Amino acid sequence: MAEAEAGGNEDQAPAKVLNINVGVMGHVDSGKTSLVRALSKTLSTAALDKHPQSQERGITLDLGFSSFTVPIPDHMKTEAQDYDVLQFTLVDCPGHASLIKTIIGGAQIIDMMILVIDVTKGVQTQTAECLVIGEILMEKILIVLNKIDQIPEETRTEKVEKVKKGLEKVVPYLQTLSCPTMQQVFASTKFKNPDMVAVSATGGSADAPADVLVDKLKGISRFPQRIITGPFYFSVDHCFPIKGKGTVLTGTVLSGSVRVNDEIKSIQMFKKPVNKIAQGDRAGILVTQLDAKLIERGVLATPGSVPSFSAIVASVERVRFFKVPVLPESMISVMGCKGTAGSKRKYHITIGHSTIMATAIFFRQPNLEPATSGADCESGSQWVLLLFEKVVTAPKDSMLIGSLLDTDIHSNTCRIVFFGKALIVMDKDNKDELSRLRLFKPKQKVGHVKRVVDESVVIGKDLFKKETDISKFMNLKITLEKETEKASLLPGYIEGSFGSSGQYKVRARPRSSPAKTPQVRCTQPHGLPVSRGKGKGKAKGEDEDEDTNLVFV
């Protein structure tokens, strides 16, 4: 999109440009590239489907970049007083289901989104997936109902209003939200009541999208919060050589800033030379002594600022449109916390500039309040340990998205499962690092009362084998409960063994003066404690309480 050309040009662009990156997303063949072509004034080397296979197949296969500039809108002039013009960088994203990885990767460099809908077809599968991505990563969205030129003029107004107010074709996982109308579909997201405009990207002057869309974009734009301090991190999406000058890396600044002479020969933003670029800017960087054949995509960063790792712990939330349970019955907990977790299922994890397979182990602490966001956790705060199949290079606090991209692309199901933020990075082969997590799998054991000694002591059986060392279980919390009732009777703890046949003594704590529950100490993953459960079966014998169970908790 922006490229450095003749590295020796010293003339600097006089205008100070405020850049906002706008993702153009939607289902395949909804007219995204035609819309971008109608809006763009300056094209990059990768704009408008210049990829040979894109031209051959007639669809967008990779991210395309182009731009146009407008005067600073009145509502932004106070915050943008240091800038002369507002530049919209259009990121044309592919719409085919098989290219969702490219869409997710591109979304991380975008500030706001244009969601393009074919007015003759309505919301389709990838339309909805793009909406999910937008809800995760963006604050503003503009809905464009395209191809109105394909509707007879005498019924056009009626048809457009019908699509706006009573959309007929909504994919099943949006139907489950009971959203029969377009406005209700978006009202169920954080975008609430987004602006909508009907255009024809290829129609005549009466349907020309440029003026209407530009005005809408200006109206919903907000001054972007940029952080120019800290390490420089540049997402590279295109690379090519210039004979006699060096190699050009084009991409987007995700954090920090950089100047000419910081190991950089020259910088251009859409063919205009500049001295400095910062977070949010789209630019081309000319460097020397780099073989363009060795890099296609990647990152350019301050040395030592971006770690490489093979495992992370992340705080995550489930995408509510994903209807398959993420957390099956097999559970993992943080040491000292009850909770649930998923089995070791593999997901496609998009983080930084890569999408890599990883095994996910979920865990959580349910006592915390659920996060307020566009997604829904079953209860409490949720974390995940991700074990990647190969080493990943990305900032420590990167946003990540987990997907099941091997799902049938023709099925009407949401493939985006969860999203979140990396908290801790580590080496999955370093057992010392992994052991710090103190994860374990809760278990339960149910025994029976053999004999009541007095009002506070009972003798129990059926928890341990004859050869079990009961001293290892002393002070573990235990409850006495009626088999026919859900509520427990008295809390207690294992005081010691009784005899040599695996029986044990349990001392109950009176409800009037409860003692502090001993803390279970577990140094190995997947060990004790034992979680609470409901017992089955009855104890027998003349001195036995026949319907009372002993349950570890």
CA dist., res. 334 & res. 348, Å (int): 24
* Domain identity same for 346 and 458: no
**Position 95 in a domain:** yes
Give pLDDT, residue 157. 79
Q: Which residues, including other chains, have CB under 8 Å from residue 244's CB and lie 6 or more apart?
A: none
Give pLDDT, residue 391. 94
Conformational region of residue 31, where left means phi above 0, alpha means psi within -120 to 50, and beta covers everything else: left
Looking at 167, 193, 220, which one is the last position of a domain? 220
* Domain identity same for 380 and 469: no
Give pLDDT, residue 510. 61
* Domain identity same for 82 and 140: yes
Helix (H) or strand (E) holding 198: strand 195-198
Q: Which residues, including other chains, have CB under 8 Å from residue 126's CB and lie 6 or more apart?
A: 26, 27, 28, 95, 96, 97, 100
* Domain identity same for 66 and 85: yes
Overall residue count recorded for the chain in this entry: 553
* Domain identity same for 212 and 117: yes
Give pLDDT, residue 6. 35
Contact 285, 267 (CB under 8 A): yes
- The CATH number that applies at residue 350 is 2.40.30.10
pTM over 0.85: no
**Position 434 in a domain:** yes
Angle at 419 between CA 413 and CA 423, to 5 degrees: 160
**Position 299 in a domain:** no
**Position 173 in a domain:** yes
Give pLDDT, residue 75. 93
* Domain identity same for 494 and 430: no
CA Rg, the chain, in Å? 30
**Position 356 in a domain:** yes
Looking at 440, 460, 487, which one is the last position of a domain? 440
DSSP state, residue 483: T
Looking at 167, 186, 220, which one is the last position of a domain? 220
Q: Which range of residues forms the domain containing residue 105? A: 17-220
* Domain identity same for 319 and 436: yes
Number of folded domains that form the chain: 3
**Position 114 in a domain:** yes
Measured in degrees and rounded to the nearest 5, phi and psi for residue 148 equal: -70, -15
* Domain identity same for 428 and 495: no
**Position 492 in a domain:** yes
* Domain identity same for 419 and 537: no
CA dist., res. 155 & res. 144, Å (int): 19
- The CATH number that applies at residue 529 is 2.40.10
**Position 151 in a domain:** yes
* Domain identity same for 182 and 319: no
* Domain identity same for 427 and 546: no
Low-confidence ranges of the chain (pLDDT < 50): 1-14, 48-61, 97, 166-180, 205-207, 328-342, 366, 368-380, 513-547, 553
* Domain identity same for 41 and 184: yes
- DSSP calls for 297-362: SEEEE-TTSS-EEEEEEEEEEE-TT--S-SS-S---EETT-------SEEEEEEETTEEEEEEEEE
Contact 402, 322 (CB under 8 A): no
**Residue 430 CA to its chain's centroid (Å):** 26
Helix (H) or strand (E) holding 540: none
- The CATH number that applies at residue 179 is 3.40.50.300
